[in-house]
Amino acid sequence: MWTSAGQVADLGMLLARTDPDVPKHQGISYFALDMHQPGIEVRPLKEMTGRALFNEVFITDARATADAVIGGLNNGWAVANTTLAYERSGLGAGGGSAAGGAATPGTVAGDLERRAGDFVRGGSQRRPAGPGAMLGASEKVLTELARANGMIADPTVRQDLVRLHVLNQIARFMNLRQKALRSTGGDIPGLGNMAKLSMSEILRLSRDLGLRILGPYGTLHAYSPDERKRLEEATRMPMAAMVTELALFTQGPSIYGGTDEIQHNILGERVLGLPKEPSNDRSTPFKDLARNR
């Protein structure tokens, strides 16, 4: 459930229990799964934005071969945590760009034959391509909207635009700091988790600020390309659909990739050294753990 980009994926990440006689985190293996083989059915899940970024995936007698194990047998939990850390850094504030998010990897989407310049227009102007495009451009888009409809004169709007700029700059410099440290073998513990929490805050501020700038137009949303065109003609605001889509999309990032609450727990336990909740799941074989029946 909730398989991101499963409808365009060539390979899936399959975590499977391969040893029930050891504690739960020690008996998992990480496989690369061929998504084009018989027995795999992908059903896109349409969200309230009108798009389908996530999917249900049904696996019936599909196969993952022994040579598709990544990181070694029963070492899948460590590989999964590495994958999650990379995902959270990429999802986090300053981790990507609108143009980068417009390109879809793999053979299904048809982007492999396209050039980098095909994903932008007019030099630095970003192509509206859904909420992913808005993530890297919200500050510029909201400033232009505020100027266009006169809301830039509102001191509270200006203050929140500056706050949004500051949060984005802090995130950008944090990533540059991390990059510089890694080039010398250093690291910032928990940076991926902090970046994801920062992104959630930036998105919530962008949502609330965007809807304030749009005013009554913020109650209108387009769910298809034709509707987006008609909405643009009616409002004369080319970016209105992007702003309302971001407002609907904002609830998602604080959940996927590990909820904000999970990020706080990880930072508390692994960075600050706070005690974990009592549990025996790290010492008891998986087959002996209590289950809901």
For the segment 74-101, what is each residue's pLDDT rounded down to a tens digit?
999 999 988 887 777 666 655 444 444 5
Per-residue model confidence as pLDDT tens digits over 188-213: 888 888 888 998 999 999 999 999 99
Residue 133 carries which side chain, given as an amino acid letter?
Answer: A
Q: What's the CA gap between 164 and 202, in Å, rounded? A: 7
Averaged pLDDT, 180-188? 86
Q: Which of 82-86, 97-101, 114-118, 157-161 has the lowest mean pLDDT?
A: 97-101
Domain CATH code at residue 100: 1.20.140.10
| Long-range pairs, 72-78, Cβ under 8 A, ≥24 | 73/18, 73/29, 74/18, 74/19, 74/22, 74/26, 74/27, 74/28, 74/29, 75/29, 75/30, 76/15, 76/16, 76/18, 76/28, 76/29, 76/30, 76/31, 77/25, 77/26, 77/28
Q: Quick one: DSSP state of residue 274?
A: P
Query: What distances in angstroms separate CA 83 from CA 13, 76, 89, 277, one per listed residue?
Result: 10, 10, 10, 24
Residues ≥6 apart with Cβ < 8 Å to 71? 30, 78, 79
Beta strands 54-59 and 120-121, pairing class? unpaired
Identify whether residues 133 and 264 lie together within a single domain. yes
Mean pLDDT of 118-127: 54
Q: Tell which residue, 102, 153, 127, has the closest CA to residue 238.
A: 127
Residue 292 belongs to a domain: no
Nearest to 238 by CA among 158, 155, 103, 133: 133
> What CATH number should be reported for the domain holding residue 11?
2.40.110.10
Rounded to 5 degrees, φ, ψ at 69 are -70, 130
Q: Of 31, 57, 74, which residue sits at a domain end?
A: 74
- Provide the domain count of the chain: 2
| Buried b or exposed e, range 5-38, using 16+ CB within 10 angstroms | bbbbbeebebeeebeeebbbebbbbbbbbbbeee
Torsion 136-225-207-143 (CA) sign: positive
In terms of pLDDT, which residue wins out, 133 or 250?
A: 250
- Cα 236 to the center of its chain, rounded Å: 30
Under 8 Å between Cβ of 221 and 291: no
Tokens of 275: 């005690």
What is the C-alpha to C-alpha distance for residues 48 and 275, in angstroms, rounded to an integer? Answer: 39
Q: How confident is the model at residue 182 (pLDDT cuts 50, 70, 90)?
A: confident
What band does 102 get if pLDDT is binned at 50, 70 and 90? low
Given a contact cutoff of 8 angstroms between Cβ atoms, the answer to whether 260 and 200 are in contact is: yes
Q: Is 288 in contact with 282 (CB distance < 8 Å)?
A: no
pLDDT at 137: 65
Domain that includes residue 43, residue range: 1-74
Q: What share of the chain is helix, strand, coil (3-state, %, to 5)?
A: 50, 10, 40
Instruction: Please give the pLDDT value at position 277.
Output: 81
Across 56-65, 92-101, 104-113, least confident range: 92-101
pLDDT (0 to 100) of residue 99: 47
Confidence (pLDDT) at 274: 94
175 and 151 co-located in one domain = yes
Give the Å distances, CA to CA, from 139 to 117, 136, 288.
22, 8, 52
pTM of the model: 0.76
Residues 161 and 271 both lie in one domain: yes
**Per the domain annotation, does 140 fall within a domain?**
yes
Domain boundary among 74, 90, 115: 74
Question: Domain for residue 264, yes or no?
Answer: yes
Looking at the domain assignment, is residue 203 inside a domain?
A: yes
Same domain, 36 and 96: no
On whether residue 118 sits in a domain, the answer given is: no
